[in-house]
Amino acid sequence: MEKYLNVSIKEIIGKFPEVGRILEEYKIGCVPCTLGSCLLKDVVGIHNLPADQEAQLLYRIEKAIYPKRNVKRPEGKALTCKAPVGNIKYSPPIKRLVDEHIVIKQWLELIPSVLEEIDIESEAGMRWISDSLDFVRFYADKFHHAKEEDILFGYTDKNLDIIKTILRDHETARGHVKATSEAVKSKDKEAIVQHLSAYKDLLKEHIKKEDEILYPWIDRGLSTRQVGELFAKFDEAEARIDKGMIEQCEKFAHEAEEKVRKIKKRRQQNEW
C-alpha cells in the first residue's frame, strides 16, 4: 500500500476504477479532475477527514487495490454520513475571500437565465454582456484572483499539484473572458453563449474546490502570526484598488440576484 500512496491519483483510478467510486462517496472529487496528478497520500491528507473516516477510507482503498490481501479492518464506525465536513470555520482573511465568492456566485447564477433569452441585437442585451465582462475582469480577476495569486498562494508551495490546478483554472477562466469579448466584437451569439456558460461551470466548481478544500487546508497550515500578516497584506492590496469600482461590482452582483428572482417569477406566471 505504501507504494501506492506515492502514485498519482489519476494512475490509480485508471488501474482501479473502484478507488474513484470510493473517493466520490467521501465527496473527494478526483474523478472529474482532468489533471489528477496529486499523489494518493496528498489527496487523503488534504481533505482532513476525521481519523476514523480516514482509516476506513484507506482500508477500502487498500481492499480495492489488493482484493485478496488480508487487510485488517480499522476500529471505529464505517462512513455513515456522506458529507465529510460540517460548518467550516475560516480565519478572518480567508473568510474575506469566501465572502467575495458569494458575490461572484450571485452573478454566476444569473448567466443561464440571461443567456436563454439574450438578444444581442438589442442595446440592453449587449450592455448586460459588457457589464458582465467588466465585473469579471475587475472583481473576479483583478480584485479576487490577484489576492489569491499574489498573496495567499505565497503561503503554499506553488509547485503543489492542487495549486497548479487552481492556477490553471484561473488561466482557463481568463481565456473564456477573452473569447467572450472577441465574440461580442463579432456579434457571434453562439460563441458568447458557449464561453460564458463554460466560464460559469468552471468558476462554480473552482469556488467549491477553494471553499471546501483549498482554503481550509491553507488555513490549517497558518500560524496566528501568518493570519495577521495575511490580513494586513489583503488590506494593503485593497487600498490600491478603486473602492468605488468594488462597490459598483457588488451592486451589479446584487442586482443580478434580484434579476434571477424576477425572471423565475415571470416564467412561473407564464407557465400558469
Give whichever of 42 and 148 is closer to Fe ion, judged by the CB atom: 148
Q: How far is the CB of 250 from Fe ion (least distance, A)?
A: 16
Binding part of the chain for Fe ion, among 2-10, 66-74, 105-113, 203-211 by CB under 5 A, reads 203-211
211 near Fe ion (CB under 5 A): no
Give whichever of 161 and 210 is closer to Fe ion, judged by the CB atom: 210
Grid cell of 128 as nine digits: 448586460
d(C-alpha 216, C-alpha 196), whole Å: 29
219 near Fe ion (CB under 5 A): no
Give whichever of 42 and 100 is closer to Fe ion, judged by the CB atom: 100
Grid cell of 108 as nine digits: 454566476
Cα angle 128, 263, 256 (rounded to 5 degrees) comes to 45
Q: How far is the CB of 173 from Fe ion (least distance, A)?
A: 8
Q: How far is the CB of 245 from Fe ion (least distance, A)?
A: 18
Burial of 245 (0-12, 13-18, 19+ CB in 10 A): middle
DSSP-based three-state secondary structure for 48: coil
What CA–CA distances, in Å, run from 129 to 30, 82, 193? 33, 39, 10
Binding mask 142-181 for Fe ion (x = CB under 5 A): ------x---------------------------------
Q: What type of residue is 110?
A: L
User: What is the distance between the terminal CA atoms of the chain, rounded to a whole angstrom?
Assistant: 60
Q: How far is the CB of 210 from Fe ion (least distance, A)?
A: 5
Give whichever of 210 and 219 is closer to Fe ion, judged by the CB atom: 210
Phi first, then psi: give them for residue 8, nearest 5 degrees.
Answer: -65, 145
| 37 contacts 203 by C-beta, under 8 angstroms | no
Q: How far is the CB of 164 from Fe ion (least distance, A)?
A: 12
Q: How far is the CB of 176 from Fe ion (least distance, A)?
A: 14
Q: What type of residue is 196?
A: L
d(C-alpha 157, C-alpha 213), whole Å: 16
Give whichever of 60 and 210 is closer to Fe ion, judged by the CB atom: 210
Give whichever of 182 and 238 is closer to Fe ion, judged by the CB atom: 238
Q: Which helix (H) or strand (E) holds 11?
A: helix 9-15
Count residues binding Fe ion (CB under 5 A).
2
Q: How far is the CB of 36 from Fe ion (least distance, A)?
A: 19
The percent of the chain in helix, strand and coil, each rounded to the nearest 5, is: 75, 0, 25
210 near Fe ion (CB under 5 A): yes
Give whichever of 148 and 161 is closer to Fe ion, judged by the CB atom: 148
d(C-alpha 213, C-alpha 160), whole Å: 14
Binding part of the chain for Fe ion, among 69-77, 119-127, 207-215, 239-247 by CB under 5 A, reads 207-215
Binding part of the chain for Fe ion, among 51-59, 70-78, 110-118, 205-213 by CB under 5 A, reads 205-213
**Residues at the site binding Fe ion, with contacts judged by CB under 5 A:** 148, 210
